[in-house]
């Protein structure tokens, strides 16, 4: 029988980052619930890497992430358009450097 | 940054299910090898069906997915083994799964134990996966190429199942008073059915070098369980071994209902596809 007594507390939330292949960055894949870090890695394996996407997984407690203020986007994320001097576009990329 | 590598997509229409069977699918089993393949295939099939009962009912969505993944791994092992067993007398994996009656199944009683609460499912998973890990490790050296190939493929998956069960055993035993009480009870309820897994039935004598002699797996199983129980501060319960009898077609009372649920659709609509 599945017990329904004592409405269970929800497990803490974890953010999951998966690296698709060597040399790439870890990319945010989603989030999940798990009781602790070890099980969070295992749950992430089941939820986010079953189609062969991953070579490495990071999990981070969601409350350890500090986010930018969504109301501050006016000044915080002001577009750098029209400020070409800020961009390193005047260089030629070396050959053989992937993912640049 | 963007990842331009396309993700592999699986669509059921294009999926060639036969290509996923381990080993040479044209190999034909002798009657004795087929009987042995039924032992192992039915263990995996019944456990898979049981774990499917947790879908949408596990303690958390994440655990739902974990148990579902394990069930699907086991279904893959069952497919390969039942396909191979069926080559002895021209039956398909579906014939064997859906159109055999209870006395024709060969699963051991451990796998027929009810899901119970989550702790009982974990105790059953611990015993089952620790046994299967030892079994498939040894079966890789079988003189039968198909059985060896099935074992090779299954071993990595069973390794993960064992890890999952160990992690949960440690957490339930070391968690709250409630979880510890349930884990202790679960181990006591499940352990009478462990002994049957390691009995050398007469069939084994006919399959020297092909089948794994069950009694030889006990030591490895005990070593793993002792280590886990020591860390979890659990004791091997002092319980009498059950009579068992699954290898001879005598099953635990749960089996009738389990088979009815598993087989009803295929029997009501023979040959249906969807």
When the pLDDT of each residue in chain B is averaged and rounded to a whole number, the result is: 93
What's the mean pLDDT when you consider all of chain A? 80
Q: Which residues 61-90 of A have a C-beta within 8 angstroms of B?
A: none
Confidence of residue A94 (pLDDT cuts 50, 70, 90): confident
Between B12 and B102, name the one with better pLDDT.
B102
Q: What are phi and psi of B254, to 5 degrees?
A: -65, -20
pLDDT the model gives residue B9: 54
Sign of CA dihedral A86, A87, A92, A96: positive
pLDDT given at position A8: 56
Structure confidence at residue B154 (pLDDT): 97
- Taking CA–CA distances from B118, the nearest residue in chain A reads A2
Query: Is 50 exceeded by the pLDDT of residue A2?
Result: no
Interface residue of B60, B116, B156, B186 to substitute, partner A, most A CBs within 10 Å? B60
Residue B5 has pLDDT above 60, yes or no: no
Residue B26: the pLDDT is 83
DSSP letter string, B199-241: ---HHHHT-TTTS--GGGGHHHHHHHHHHHHHHHT------PP
Tens of pLDDT, residue by residue over B209-251, are: 999 999 999 999 999 999 999 999 999 999 999 999 999 999 9
Give the residue, A49 or B54, on which the prediction is more confident.
Answer: B54
Domains, chain A:
13-67 (3.10.20.520)
- Per-residue pLDDT reduced to its tens digit, B59-91: 888 999 999 999 999 999 999 999 999 999 999
Range in A83-87, B35-39, B257-261, B265-269 with the lowest mean pLDDT: A83-87
Lookup: tokens for B17: 């299910």
Choose among B131, B128, B108: nearest CA to B223.
B131
pLDDT digits (tens, 9 = 90+) for A51-81: 666 679 999 999 999 988 777 767 667 766 6
According to the per-residue pLDDT averaged within each range, which of A2-11, A67-76, B14-23, B117-126 is highest?
B117-126
Which residues on chain B are in Cβ contact (under 8 Å) with A55? none
Interface A-B: count of C-beta contacts within 8 A: 50
B179-194 confidence digits (pLDDT tens): 999 999 999 999 999 9
Does residue B13 carry a pLDDT above 60? no
**pLDDT beyond 90 at B204:** yes
pLDDT for residue B119 is more than 80 = yes
Residue pair B147/B25 in contact (Cβ under 8 Å)? The answer is no
Domain positions in chain B: 27-268
* Total residue count of chain A as it appears in this document: 100
**ipTM for the assembly:** 0.72
CA distance B80 to B102: 21
1.10.10.10, 1.20.1260.10, 3.40.50.300, 3.40.228.10: CATH of B27-268: 1.20.1260.10
Are B163 and A2 an interchain contact pair (Cβ–Cβ within 8 Å)? no
Q: Do A20 and B66 touch (CB under 8 A)?
A: no
pLDDT over 50 (residue A4): no
Tokens for B82, please give them.
């039942």
């Amino acid at each position: 029988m599945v017990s329904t007594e004592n409405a269970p507390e929800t497990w803490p939330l974890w953010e999951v980052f998966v690296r698709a292949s060597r040399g790439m960055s870890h990319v945010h894949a989603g989030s999940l619930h798990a009781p602790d870090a070890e099980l969070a890695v295992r749950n992430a394996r089941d939820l986010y890497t079953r189609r062969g996407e991953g070579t490495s997984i990071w999990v981070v407690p969601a409350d350890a992430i500090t986010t930018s203020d969504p109301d501050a986007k006016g000044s915080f994320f002001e577009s750098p358009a029209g400020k070409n001097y800020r961009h390193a576009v005047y260089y030629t990329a070396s050959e053989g450097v992937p993912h640049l | 940054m963007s990842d331009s590598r396309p993700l592999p997509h699986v669509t059921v229409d294009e999926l060639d299910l036969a290509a996923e069977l381990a080993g040479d699918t044209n190999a034909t089993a002798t009657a004795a090898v087929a009987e042995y393949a039924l032992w192992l295939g039915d263990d995996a099939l019944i456990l898979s069906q049981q774990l499917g009962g947790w879908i949408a009912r596990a303690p958390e969505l994440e655990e739902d997915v974990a148990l579902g993944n394990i069930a699907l791994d086991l279904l893959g092992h069952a497919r390969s083994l039942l396909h191979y067993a069926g080559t002895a007398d021209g039956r398909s994996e579906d014939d064997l799964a859906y159109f055999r009656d209870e006395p024709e199944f060969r699963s051991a009683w451990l796998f027929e134990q009810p899901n119970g609460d989550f702790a009982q499912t974990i105790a059953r998973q611990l015993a089952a996966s620790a046994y299967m890990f030892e079994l498939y490790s040894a079966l890789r050296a079988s003189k039968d190429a198909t059985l060896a190939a099935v074992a090779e493929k299954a071993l990595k998956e069973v390794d993960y199942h064992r890890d999952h069960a160990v992690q949960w055993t440690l957490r339930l035993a070391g968690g709250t008073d409630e979880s510890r009480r349930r884990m202790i009870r679960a181990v006591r309820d499940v352990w009478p059915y462990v002994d049957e897994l390691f009995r050398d039935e007469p069939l084994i004598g006919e399959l020297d070098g092909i089948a794994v002699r069950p009694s030889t797996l006990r030591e490895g199983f005990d070593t793993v369980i002792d280590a886990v129980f020591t860390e979890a501060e659990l004791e091997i319960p002092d319980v009498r071994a059950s009579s068992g009898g699954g290898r001879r077609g005598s099953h635990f009372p749960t089996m009738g209902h389990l088979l009815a649920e598993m087989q009803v659709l295929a029997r009501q609509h023979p040959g249906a596809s969807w």
